[in-house]
Amino acid sequence: MIIGLLIYLPACGFHLRGQSSLPPEFQSIQLLGENLSAKQRSLLEQKLRQAGASLQASDRPEQVRLKVSFSSLNSRLLVNSADSGKSVVRLSRQLIYSLKKSSSEQAAEKGVLEQRLEVELDENNLLDSDRRIRRAEESIDRALVDQLIFSLKQL
Pairing of strands 28-34, 54-55: parallel
Distance CA 107, CA 101 (A): 7
- Is the pLDDT at 139 greater than 70? The verdict is yes
Specify the higher pLDDT residue, 136 or 5.
136
Q: How far apart are the first and last CA of the chain?
A: 37
Main-chain phi, psi angles of 62, to 5 degrees: -85, -5
Do residues 48 and 28 lie in contact, with contact meaning Cβ atoms separated by under 8 Å?
no
- The string of pLDDT tens digits covering residues 89-102 is 999 999 999 988 76
Rounded mean pLDDT, 16-23:
65
Proportion of the chain above pLDDT 90, given as a percent: 48
- On the 0-12 / 13-18 / 19+ scale of CB atoms within 10 A, 146 is middle
**Assigned fold of 22-154:** Double Stranded RNA Binding Domain (3.30.160)
Residue 11 pLDDT: 52
Residue 89 pLDDT: 94
Would you list the domain boundaries of the chain?
22-154
